Amino acid sequence: MGKLIKDAHSVWNTLNGIFLVFKPAGIHYLGTLNTLNLNLQRDFNKLEVRPPMKYVSIEGPTNKEMRVVVRDSYADNPLVVGPRFREKNFRMVTVNNLDIDTSGVLVVAINYGTRLRYVFKEFRPTVLYKVKGILGQMRRNNFMDGAIVEKSTWKHIRREHIDRVCASMQASHQKMMFQLSGLDIQSQEAYELAVKGPIRPNDPNIPLLYSIKCINFTPPEFTLEIVCINTSSEYLKSVTAEIGIKLHSTAHCNYLHCSQYGLFHVKDSLLSKHWNLSNILNNMNMCQNLISKHSSILSEKQPNLAMQIAT
């Protein structure tokens, strides 16, 4: 790695793939991409870049023997035209767009690695979220920065009550999978479909919760762990509010955290202080090894509801 870091051209040829960064809450994912772009520009321009192009001029009086002079071209000098690497040189997109209120692992594709974005969008991996809520208050946007529209009592709520509501919501979503497919949940066809893996709806606008459970309850606060697909932050906030209503109270969300996106876990993501060229290359290599190790998962045909409707 040390040998590659010295030469900008060699490093540039390896900067194709995906890497993981940790996006804090309160920052838009486009702002994260902008910071990454600036950091990469900074680090690349510190490397050994190509020298300025040469300018050939013929000088001297025309009635005598003239001389050929070769010098650096001012039209290609970094002091005149600016640094070699600029914002337009780096093509970066996010595979999973995290809302401004959501923190967690952000999967970034760069240069030719942007093609992998469509692979993951087609595969639609499951996502693990950690969601925290507060009982007793309903807010306008179901999040902590919204105006309070209703207050209610919550001291009658116990841990087992939340567990019961979570189990009911999970069962209803599992039942909905098979209802949309037109299969009896007790049938052999439903069993054969289920053993193939998580059932993915053909319509990407249909949210599904594969698992929802309470992992911590410190009244009035509670923490949920949700495994889902096709969900947005707004939907997860509404789930928190729905739990409050089913508990004969109210609730709003005050924390959203994406812990895992498919193969990629937040523990492998880079903190903002590590957003530099060397760490990004190392993280990119780690992601490539992970994808190669599980390449069969991305290529295999996933069960979806459209397949069952057509049969």
Instruction: Please give the Cα distance from 52 to 45 (Å, whole number).
Output: 14
| pLDDT at position 306 | 42
pLDDT at residue 22, rounded to an integer? 97
Question: Per the residue annotation, which of 72, 76, 99, 268 is the catalytic one?
Answer: 99
Quick one: pLDDT at residue 4?
A: 46
Number of Cβ within 10 Å of residue 141's Cβ equals 16
Res 84: pLDDT: 79
For residue 45, the model assigns a pLDDT of 86
Query: Tokens standing for 242?
Result: 């729905």
Q: What is the pLDDT of residue 294?
A: 81
d(CA 216, CA 169): 18
Euclidean distance between CA atoms 218 and 221, whole angstroms: 5
**In whole angstroms, what separates CA 208 from the centre of its chain?**
18
Q: 285: buried, middle or exposed (CB in 10 Å: 19+, 13-18, 0-12)?
A: middle
Q: Do 108 and 95 meet the contact criterion of CB atoms below 8 Å apart?
A: yes
| 99 is annotated as an active-site residue | yes
CATH fit for domain 126-261, picks 3.10.129.10, 3.40.50.150, 3.30.2350.10, 3.40.640.10: 3.30.2350.10
Cross-strand partners of 18: 109
pLDDT attached to residue 212: 96
Report how far residue 198's alpha carbon sits from residue 206's, in angstroms, rounded to the nearest whole number: 14
- Per-residue pLDDT tens digits of the chain, which is 311 residues long: 444 457 788 888 889 999 999 999 999 999 999 999 999 999 988 888 777 778 788 877 878 888 888 888 877 777 776 787 888 889 999 999 899 999 999 999 999 989 888 888 888 889 999 999 999 999 999 999 999 999 999 999 999 999 999 999 999 988 887 776 666 777 787 777 777 767 777 777 889 999 999 999 999 999 999 999 999 999 999 999 999 999 999 999 999 999 999 999 999 999 999 999 999 999 999 999 998 888 766 655 555 544 333 33
Structural contact between residues 259 and 130, judged by C-beta atoms closer than 8 angstroms: yes
First to last CA, the chain: 53
Decide: helix, strand or coil at residue 214: strand
Domain ranges within the chain, ordered by starting residue: 53-83, 126-261
Quickly tell me which residue has 């299969």 as its tokens: 183
Give the pLDDT score at 308: 36
